[in-house]
Amino acid sequence: MSSGRRTRQREQTRSALLEQGRRLFAAKGYAGVGLAEIVGAAGVTKGALYHQFDGKTELFGAVHARIQQEVAAQVAAAAQRRHDPWEQLLAGCRAFLEASTAPAVQRIMLVDGPAVLGWREWRAVDEAASARHLADALESLIAAGTIAPQPVAPLTHLLSGAMNEAALWLADTAAPGDLDATWNALARMLESLRGQ
């Protein structure tokens, strides 16, 4: 078998494991899924899984990182559609809340992520994705005088925590209009940051 074909086969195996892992983790949660079920759904052997990942936790970490990157890309895309930096912040925050209503995002990123990966690793992944965009936006708004000068790191963590908590609350409620009500509350909180 040529090295190009082996590389494609490895990529296909990895892709199948990530896809089926995501589907199963979202549907059943990390604890509810066994390796045999994942490899069966992906159509590969346990040996093929162990060739790609150290085990279920590492596979989950890769699925989680991919979801974090997807959410960060949605946030960045929503912000980039605006020209005004303040409107970019609002659009990005709204996009985060909207993306977080997806069941896979809620279960994998917000519920199981911190428990499976540990708080420190979960925060590191978040900071490399969504939180980085939030910090960049806040720095720009402070530099422009839209937000009063203040340390960016604590403000980023406070806002990120508020949005993660709002997303978790939205995951537990099924009432119509809760997303809009949550967004309105967050928008008022953000508005309080603007300079007078």
Domain ranges within the chain, ordered by starting residue: 1-53, 63-192
C-alpha span between 188 and 53 (Å, rounded): 44
Identify the band that residue 195 occupies on the pLDDT scale cut at 50, 70 and 90.
Answer: low
Model pTM? 0.88
User: What integer is the mean pLDDT of 154-175?
Assistant: 87
Identify the band that residue 183 occupies on the pLDDT scale cut at 50, 70 and 90.
Answer: very high
- Quick one: how far is CA 188 from the chain centroid? 23
**pLDDT tens digits, one per residue of 15-24:** 999 999 999 9
Q: What is the pLDDT of residue 133?
A: 83
Q: What superfamily in CATH does domain 63-192 come from? A: Tetracycline Repressor, domain 2 (1.10.357.10)
User: What integer is the mean pLDDT of 155-177?
Assistant: 86
pLDDT at 6 over 90: no
C-alpha span between 80 and 91 (Å, rounded): 9
Q: What is the pLDDT of residue 184?
A: 95
CA 169, 100, 59: angle at the middle one, nearest 5? 110
Identify the band that residue 84 occupies on the pLDDT scale cut at 50, 70 and 90.
Answer: very high
Same topology for domains 1-53 and 63-192, yes or no?
no
Q: Which CATH number fits domain 1-53: 1.20.1740, 1.10.10, 2.40.160, 1.20.1270?
A: 1.10.10
Element holding 11 (H helix, E strand): helix 3-28
User: What integer is the mean pLDDT of 126-145?
Assistant: 88
Token representation of residue 121: 């690793």
Question: Residue 151: what are its φ and ψ, rounded to 5°?
Answer: -65, 135
Identify the band that residue 1 occupies on the pLDDT scale cut at 50, 70 and 90.
Answer: low
Q: What is the pLDDT of residue 107?
A: 93
**pLDDT tens digits, one per residue of 26-75:** 999 999 999 999 999 999 999 999 999 999 999 999 999 999 999 989 99
User: What integer is the mean pLDDT of 131-159?
Assistant: 92
Average per-residue pLDDT for the chain? 91
